[in-house]
Amino acid sequence: MTRALITGITGQDGSFLAEFLLDKGYQVIGLVRRDSWFRHNNASHLEGKIELLFGDMSEGVDIAAAVHDAEPDEIYNLASQSRPGESWSRAPETLLVNGLGAVRLFEAVRHNRPACRVYHASSSEMYGRVDVVPQHEGTPFNPINPYAAAKTYAHQMARIYRESYGLFISSGVLFNHESERRPLHFLPQKVAYGAACAALGITDSRATNEMGRPIVERGKLALGNLDIARDWGYAGDFVRAMWLMLQHDKPGEFVIGTGKLHSLRDLCEVAYGAVGLDWQASVVSDAGLFRPLESSQTLADPTKAKRELGWEPSVGFEDMVKRMVAAQIAGLRSLNK
Ligand code: NAP
């Protein structure tokens, strides 16, 4: 039975990936922070189906022990401080987990498990302020926040370890991907939540935003810059790409995205439209929620992934947003039961 170690298994991608690998007959081992496991998380429903190793990606000994004890054939390194906006106030931790954590993992593989195949979670945030649209594997990086800088460091180190030691490390430069499991502070989920509140007539939400205010306050959803646009895909599709990278005959770097750009306005229109409402009556733009520096319009060119991996997304933008709104409505209804 193939053994896969997943770091970040309690996260959105980790939980989708664990389900995907279990379906394929893998033995799945998750590296998790002890406290995270004992509260409800995205992988709670997998208890009994997966093995657990407790550890923290900011601790080198925990990483080395996990690689040794899991005896993995494949490793998916998904753990990270994954909020670009928050990385401004948590810059040292972001570098420790997202940057040094990855390098410590590569070192552990080099010494203990050199035949193991490794997927590393890079990010389209590395492109930052771009001159070239769309972005492909050869597009230069220009990170503009601590999260993106740490991801760029780990991405370069993955290449260096691959080329210097012959390790099978593939990096997925993933563009934004969302789902029903995305935390509320990410924009599409926040919009889905806002639309769900509007549909249910909730004018002051229990959930709060980055400024500690209700996400929906007096019937309004406050967002930052409505002109930003992103290439948003569905997380379930993206974890399939991770697996395909490790089944490929050679390691490398792969851009994964839909190749379609949607603005935050489009997102609001689809989400509120899904419940028969006009978003403009409920959404306001608040300058206090703008990022210090905003990434340019990053758009994926996934040609290589399609050609070499046969990967294509299956869930479209509208379908994804509608699923998220429906899940938020179900969640809010169950809270009020
Ligand atoms: P997520 O839901 O925020 O999950 C992050 C995971 O990392 C959680 O399981 C979290 O565990 C774990 N983690 C954080 N700090 C840790 C630490 N010190 N030690 C051990 N585990 C730690 O993120 P995601 O959306 O699934 O993303 C997965 C990966 O893809 C991340 O590396 C992210 O940066 C990258 N990525 C995501 C996107 C996207 O759009 N989703 C795009 C590009 C790249 P806890 O439960 O303990 O917090």
- pLDDT averaged over consecutive 10-residue blocks of the chain (337 residues)? 98 98 98 96 97 98 98 98 92 97 98 98 95 95 96 98 98 98 95 98 92 92 92 98 98 98 97 98 88 73 98 98 98 85
62 Cβ inside 6 Å of ligand 1: no
How many domains does the chain divide into? 2
Query: 302 lies in a domain?
Result: no
State the residue range of the domain holding 193.
187-229+261-297+317-335
* Residues 204 and 237 both lie in one domain: no
Q: How far is the CA of 38 from the centre of ligand 1 (A)?
A: 17
User: CA–CA separation, 100 vs 104, rounded Å?
Assistant: 6
pLDDT for res 256:
98
Our answer on whether the CB atom of 174 is closer than 6 Å to any ligand 1 atom is yes
The CA-based angle 176-93-33, given to 5 degrees, is 80
pLDDT digits (tens, 9 = 90+) for 258-315: 999 999 999 999 999 999 999 999 999 988 777 666 666 789 999 999 999 999 999 9
> Which atom of ligand 1 is closest in space to residue 15's alpha carbon?
26
* Residue 239 is assigned to a structural domain of this protein: yes
Contacts of 298 (CB under 8 A, 6+ apart): 124, 125, 127, 130, 133, 135, 175, 230, 231
- Which two structure tokens, joined as six digits, stand for 337? 């039961």
Q: Is 147 a catalytic residue?
A: yes
Per-residue pLDDT tens digits for 180-215: 999 998 999 999 999 999 999 999 999 998 778 899
Residues 142 and 48 occupy one common structural domain: yes
Residues 85 and 157 in one domain: yes
Task: Choose the residue to mutate in 12, 46, 56, 82 for probing ligand 1, maximizing ligand atoms within 8 Å of C-beta.
Answer: 82
Q: Rounded CA gap, 85 and 190, in Å?
A: 14
Question: What is the CATH number for 135?
Answer: 3.40.50.720
The whole-model pTM stands at 0.96
Q: What is the pLDDT of residue 180?
A: 97
Mean pLDDT over the full length of the chain: 96
Long-range (24+ apart) CB contacts under 8 A made by 87-92 are: 87/145, 87/146, 87/147, 87/148, 87/150, 88/145, 88/146, 88/292, 90/146, 91/146
Distance 10 CA to ligand 1 centre (A): 8
